[in-house]
Structure 1
Amino acid sequence: MSKPPQRFLKGPSHDDPPAAGAAGSGQEGMSATETARYISEFSAELSYLAREAKLDLLAYLLDMARLEAGRLLQAPEKD
C-alpha cells in the first residue's frame, strides 16, 4: 500500500484570498468534497513518508484517515 508521493499539495492558507465565488455567497474555503479529496491525497503522501521512516503505527493511522476520506467521497451527497 506504500507508494511514492505524486507531488506536494498546497493546502489552503489563512493568507490566501478566498476562492472565486466564495465572497458574499456564505461559503469560505473548500467544500466538504474538496476537503475530503485533499485529505485523502495528502494523507497518502504522509503515510508513504511515515513508512519510509519505519513509523508503522503513524503510517497505519494515516492510511485510516485516507480510507475514511475516500469513503466520504464515494458516499452519496446528503442535502
Structure 2
Amino acid sequence: MAQTPQQRKANERYAKHEAAKRGKGGAIPKPKQHTRSPVSTGWIVILAFVVCGGIFLELLGVVPRLWSALVSNFNLLLQ
C-alpha cells in the first residue's frame, strides 16, 4: 500500500525530529552553580595578614641578629 502525501510529510517531520534528537547526545549538562564562600575576601586578607605578618616581623628581627653573628665570626677569622 502506497503512502499518501500527508503520511509522507508526517514521516519526514518525524525523521527530522529523531535525527535532531540523535545529534544532541544524551542529557544536557546543567551549568555549574557558582558557590560562594561563607567568608568574605576581606576577612581572608585580614587573616592572612595576621598569620603571615607575624612571621614576617619575626624574620625582620632574626635577620639582623644573624648578620651580626656572621660579621663577628668573619672578623674573628681575619684577626
**TM-score for both structures, normalised by structure 2:** 0.30
- Greater C-alpha radius of gyration: 2
Going by fraction, where is helix more abundant, 1 or 2?
A: 2
